[in-house]
Amino acid sequence: MAKCFISYSESYRSVMEMIKKLVETLGFEVDCFDEPDINRPPIQLSQQRIASADCVVIIIGPKNREETISAPWPAEEGVYAIAKEKPVALFIHPNTQLPESLQNLQTPARFNFWDINDQMRNIHNILKHLLDLKRRIDLPPGTQPFLYTKSISRNRISRTGSLTVQIYSEVVARQECSRFHHALDTGLDNRKSAIIKLVNDNSYYIETTLGSESHRASIEIAPCTDQQIPYFVNVEPPLAPGERLGYQREFEVQNWFPLTQVELKKISEEPGFPLEYIQDGKIYYGDVYDVFYEMEAITLAIHIPRRYPIKSIRALALSSTARTLNVGETEKINKKEVISLVTLPESSEQVICLNVRPPLINHRYALLYEPE
């Protein structure tokens, strides 16, 4: 059970009791000093208890109704909690003068500590802050502002040769987030003739799935090169800490994937063809996924018309910086439960698929195929 330290002053103890009950209802073990301020132990003791807690609730107001300067205990304990990088939920009495380190910490819940009606009017804000705190505690440890729980990337080559790129991402925020950077690219292929280009300026769309009832997403295309189409996914309103969002994108682009051994042999002789695609005397081609953030799972898939048979498939795990082969990870992802080639009897396509759980940060995963 996660432990929550509550910092407050006896002058508004009733507020602490109300928030304490809510915190306990959310499943936290609560730690707080249950004595008048005058009987407080040395600050070192409260610092020890804050350091051992998983999170901190700071209820900060003046010592009495006539003042605006914050009571000393919650101010000092709040500053220490921030210094120790503890997840914090902040509740403030209006017009209370705060320490500088707490002033821009977050958008706090503000209400009159001595007005029960004002407390009830703001109960939804109080609950929201506590729920956000719980979601942050429930996240796995990490330093990134957000965590991708899954990502699915599909390249669908039609019988006419056009290419549809479908990408699904599921993200959970550790802190407030409203903008996510992505890119379509030609993977490791740096040939001049390897060009990724939208069919037209409007040949893309986005929709939210998970979290769609409360958030909207849009695509902002950034300046492009022949080998890359960078873009941003903008989310309104921003994700609060602990909130999850799933968003699906689809792009219609010109196909650059070779479908026959003759095509592949020809492009393999061009400067810029990736040497990593030549393995054990065979020439492969495929798709690459770059893992820059913590993720739980990724799926890469290439859908190819059945009239273009596939001889063999292979997967690689490469270091993003040195582009060296990670032998152990490569062995793992070439197991039959991770990589597969399936011919769908009810459709006119075959699907090469790679499922990695969890992928390694700062690695590139390549899903390769050898056409006949």
Surface-to-core class of residue 45, CB atoms within 10 Å of its CB (0-12 exposed, 13-18 middle, 19+ buried): exposed
Residue type present at position 78: G
pTM recorded for the entire structure: 0.69
Q: Is the pLDDT of residue 68 over 90?
A: no
pLDDT class for 142, splitting at 50, 70, 90? low
- Residue 140 has a pLDDT of 65
Q: Which of 105-109, 110-114, 149-153 shows the lowest mean pLDDT across its residues? A: 105-109
Q: Given phi > 0 = left and psi -120 to 50 = alpha, else beta, which region is 33?
A: beta
Q: How many CB atoms lie within 10 A of CB 270?
A: 13
Q: 3-state SS string over 244-309?
A: EEEEEEEEEECCCCCCCHHHHHHHHCCCCCCHHHEECCEECEEEEEEECCCECCEEEEEEEECCCC
Q: In whole angstroms, what is the distance from residue 94 CA to residue 111 CA?
A: 6
Q: CB neighbours of 352 closer than 8 A, spacing ≥ 6?
A: 286, 301, 302, 304, 310, 313, 339, 340, 341, 367, 369
Q: Is 90:37 a contact under the CB 8 Å cutoff?
A: no
Q: Is the pLDDT of residue 4 over 90?
A: yes
To the nearest whole percent, how much of the chain has pLDDT over 70? 98
Q: What is the DSSP letter of 70?
A: B
Estimate the share of the chain in helix, then strand, then coil, as percent rounded to the nearest 5. 25, 40, 40
- Residue 141 has a pLDDT of 64
Q: Is the pLDDT of residue 223 over 90?
A: yes
Higher per-residue confidence, 320 vs 236: 236
Q: How many CB atoms lie within 10 A of CB 260?
A: 12
Q: What is the DSSP letter of 140?
A: P
> What does the pLDDT average to over 105-134?
88
Q: At what angle do helices 13-25 and 123-138 cross, to 10 degrees?
A: 50
* Rounded alpha-carbon distances, angstroms, from residue 244 to 114, 215, 359: 35, 10, 20
The pLDDT tens digits for 11-50 are 899 999 999 999 999 999 999 987 776 777 778 888 999 9
DSSP H helices, 122-211, are 123-138
- Residue 37 has a pLDDT of 67
- Residue 228 has a pLDDT of 94
For residue 288, give the nearest of 186, 150, 183 by alpha carbon: 186
Q: Given phi > 0 = left and psi -120 to 50 = alpha, else beta, which region is 70?
A: beta
HSE toward the beta carbon, residue 284, CA cutoff 13 A: 22
Q: Is 247:217 a contact under the CB 8 Å cutoff?
A: yes
- Residue 351 has a pLDDT of 95
Tokens of residue 73, six digits: 């205990």
Q: Is the pLDDT of residue 136 over 90?
A: no
* Rounded alpha-carbon distances, angstroms, from residue 186 to 81, 224, 285: 46, 12, 11
The pLDDT tens digits for 290-319 are 998 878 899 999 999 999 999 999 999 999
- Residue 45 has a pLDDT of 87
Q: What is the DSSP letter of 139?
A: S
Higher per-residue confidence, 339 vs 67: 339
pLDDT class for 143, splitting at 50, 70, 90? low
Tokens of residue 342, six digits: 């399936």
Q: Is the pLDDT of residue 106 over 80?
A: no
Angle at 190 between CA 185 and CA 191, to 5 degrees: 120
For residue 108, give the nearest of 76, 141, 78 by alpha carbon: 78
Angle at 249 between CA 308 and CA 286, to 5 degrees: 30
- Residue 212 has a pLDDT of 74
Buried b (16+ CB within 10 A) or exposed e, 191-202: beebebebeeee
Higher per-residue confidence, 250 vs 144: 250
Q: What is the DSSP letter of 38?
A: G
